[in-house]
Structures are given as structure tokens and as C-alpha cells.
Structure 1
Amino acid sequence: MAKKIKDPGLGYNSKKNSKGIVNKDGSSNVIHVNKKFNLDDLYTFFIELTWWQFFLFVLLGYTLLNVVFGFVYMAIGIEEITPSKGNFLDDFLNGFFFSAQTLTTVGYGGIAPQGITANMIAAFEAMIGLLSFSFITGLLYGRFSKAKAAIHFSDNLILRDFKEHRAIMFRLMNSRKTVMIEPEITVTLSVNEKNKDGEYKREFYRLKLERDKIMYLPTVWTIVHEIDKESPLFKYTNTEIEKLEAELYVLIQYHEESFGQKVYQITSYNFSQLKTEVKYKSSFSFDEEGYMILDHDKLNEVEKMG
């Protein structure tokens, strides 16, 4: 009989057709409300942004600062830094570009503050520029140096005959050229079912795998859960398994050579992604010189059982 495990942090309460807690890419699918803003969260916010979002944020912040100080120089009188051109747009542009030179501490010398007020504002802006670029440099280093796994998981689960029983499988590969050292994987099954009181509850099972740890992985690893008498899925037919409101939550950890430390990655599979009576095609072959060729495009390819 399959042994249930305690709630692994996802919660027992549920409802019909509830969405998974973890997305395919490993991100959280939880919507937070009434969350208090905390300055300590700023670093995490900037680190977790995508690269294009990060650089867009930097560009917008840089532009906004120069616009604000451009208007400040207009407010104190543009004559404090350069003679007026006689129209608003040209004077504002002079203030904007002088702000950019001050913020970045470039200082071409074509425009320079003349009065005490302009000098005080320029000194204050230069300090903001130094702090801002130091902050951005720290974030860039943090983003580049952050230890991160780079594993590709197959898009689908497969359910097929295996040995004397059936098995659920998925596979993964390292998207980098480095070798995954001592990868270890944990797979938790979450089944959403109605109890005697008519309420939907999640039940959790840690699945027994054909192999949950290996020495190293240079190619592809197929993760296999055999549906034997000890499996929580043994009582279901293939058709019933396909219709289950169930998810697999996957956690893998290994030593990453690039960062010299252990990294983690999570993902999930919904049983709506299940394919039956198919098997994975081989994703590697050998060339004429005997070298192994690993084709990343074949990770998801399947074929009918022979």
C-alpha cells in the first residue's frame, strides 16, 4: 500500500480544477495580496527580473532622473549653467544633457554650473549618480554570479508498459556543456480528490523512482516511477490516470562545475500533459569517429510503442 507523506508545503486544502502551486519553469503560481512592501525585498526583486526587464528598468530610471534634474535646472534658471536659447525645448535639452553629464560624472566642460545654487544641485546629483551606478554594478555582479541550474525538462509525461507493470516517465538534460555531478532528484505526487464531506483535499506521496541519484550526468536522464503494488497509482487504469487531477512536483539538486557549488531546480507536471503508449526517441547518437552527439531538440520526441 502506498504511504502518504505530510504536506510538503503546498497545503492540503483545495478545490475542483485548482491550478498547480509551482509552474513548469519552477516559479511560484501563488498570488500574494495585502503583502507589505519591504526595502529588504528590493535586491530580490531586481535579481529575479529577466534581463530585458532589468535593462529596461535601468534605462527608464536613468531617463527619469535626467528629466527631473532637467526641470530642476529650468526652475532655478537655465542661465545658472548656460545662456538661454530663448525657447523652452532647447533650454530643457541643455538642462537634460547637463544632468546626464553630471549624473555619470563625465563632465565634458561645454556646460558648467555658474551660481552657488546650481553648484549645490550638481554636487547632490553627482552623489546620486555615484550611488546609483554602484547599486547597478552590484546588481549586475549579483545576476552574473548567482548560482543557477540550467536543466531542460521534457514537455510531457509518458505512461507506458514497463517490465511487468506500467510506469510514468519524464526526462531531463543539462543545457550547459558541463557535467552534472551527483544529481539527486525527488518527485512528489499531489492528487486532488473529493473526501467524504464533499470537500476537495490534496494527498501527497513521495514516488519511488527506479533511480533517484547517479554519479554524474553528461547526457540525458529518464526518470522512471514504476506503477507496482506499492505505487499510489496502482489502483487506477490508464484512462483514470489521464483524468486525475494530479501534479508531479520535481526537485533536482546537483553540483554545478561553473559555480563550484550545489544548485537546485524545480518544475512540475500536470497529468493533462500525459501521453500514453509512447516511448521517448533516443536523443543521442555517435559520429564516425566515435564521439557522442547529443541533440537537444530531441528531448521531447516520442514514438509509438513497438
Structure 2
Amino acid sequence: MKRRDAIGSMMLGIGGITMGKSILEKGITPAAKGNINHSVCRWCYNSIPDDVFIEGVKQIEGLKSVEITTANQWPALIKNGLTAAVGTIPSASISDGFNDPKNHEKLQKSFHEVIDQAAEYGIPNVIVFSGNRRGMDDMVGMENCAVGLDPLAKHAEKKGVTIIMELLNSKVNHKDYMCDKTPWGTQLVEKLGSSRFKLLYDIYHMQIMEGDVIATIRDNHQYFAHYHTGGVPGRNEIDETQELYYPAIMKAILDTGYTGYVGQEFVPTWEDKMKALNHGVRTCDI
């Protein structure tokens, strides 16, 4: 399953209901240390219905947010004592982003609205994407992104919402995506010069593109407003089957003074998907 196919669909399934209920039956209650604000990306668990998933999330100690969700989903989260660390729009597209001026009018309208909604519901971040290159020079694309995002950044400043552009790998998952390296992203942040435009540093994606995850976080944390997890290779559980040691990465993030959310964004392979999610949260709860 890919995120671009999952956003907005939220399909229900019988298997998902069974997996979602398992956490309710077993109960998961380890005490959270309180150093990390934990979040989960909804699209990774789309086989589980919203109501069942929310009940499961509530039982995972320290998990406070269900992110990459749309405004119509936020009331249910808030009603259940949760939030959304990152909001999105139903028509979000990774490949068709702000690097193409043809997209600007439509994107500006949609994101102006969702920034207003995020401010109303207390959602801290709204996610955007650069779009694919399609033969475009990276510097031209950066300038186009800056032009398209500038009015939105100014609006976000007034509303107290942060726009975050995600760093994604163009090697495995998102071929041709432009914002695929930290230096390009940080240069765009500098160009816009807004306190309300930053980057989403996806650890999985940037391990594939660059490596040096901890050093990159230490050197560039001022540009990062959010983090995502994921096992490398495969984008599955962050356990002993993959090459990253997440407790050390979480320590590096905390050492920068970061107080935002860390979103679990791995695609679970365990039969009990909620147990896998709990394991991911516990791994990052340092």
C-alpha cells in the first residue's frame, strides 16, 4: 500500500476489524516516559475502521495523535482525547506539487482553507509536497515552490499553523520527487524565510537517500518541524529486522530540544497490526 493511494480512501475491512479488536481484548498499558510526543500515520492502518482504530490508539500509552488526517476526521479524534499532529487535504498529491506553477491556484485555495481549519481545531502542522521534477531543473522548481508557498506561509503565520514539506526518497518509493535531499529542502526554507514553513524529516526516506541520519538531525534540526519513522529496508516495523537503531535517533532528536511529535509511519507486517504499532511507540519512547 502506498500513501498516495491511501489518503482519502479509508477503506474498511473485516480483517482490520479483527486486528483492531485484538488490542482492546489484550490491553497495552506500559507507562510512557513522557519525553516523546507520539503520533501515528493513519494511512498505514486503513484496513482498520476509524472507530476501532481510535479505540486501539487510546490504549497505547503515550500515543496522542493520528496524523495525515483531514478536517472531517479531526472532530472524532478530539472527542476521544486525541489530536492530529499533521493535517492534509483529501486531494493531496505527492507528484503534483508546488514546483509546477500550473498547480498554484488550486493548491493555494485548498491549503488556505485547511490552514483555517487547522487553526480552528488546534492542529499544529499541514503537509505539502514539492511535486515531481518531470525534467524541471531543481533550482527552477525551488523558485516555483517559493512563489507558490509564499502567500500560504504568510497566512499560516497569522493563523499559528506550520506548513511542512516532506522529504521523500526518489530512489525506491517516489521516483522523480524533487524534495528528496535535505540541502534542497533547507535552501527552500531559507528562501521563504518564514517561521511557519519548515520540513518534515522522514527518517526512513532520508536513510535511503543520504544516510547520516543523526548527524543530519544535529546539523539541521532548526529546519525540521516534524519527524517520521520507518524500518529500512522495506518500510516495515522498526525492530531488529532493519538497519536503523531508533532509540539513538530519538535521543538525538530530544538533544536538539525538540518538543513536537514523532509519527510512526511504517507499514505493519505483523498479524496483529496494533501490537506492531505499540512496539514502534515503545521503541521510540526513550
TM-score, normalized by length of structure 2? 0.22
The structure whose residues are more often helix, as a share, is 2
TM-score, normalized by length of structure 1? 0.21
Between structure 1 and structure 2, the one with the greater Rg is: 1
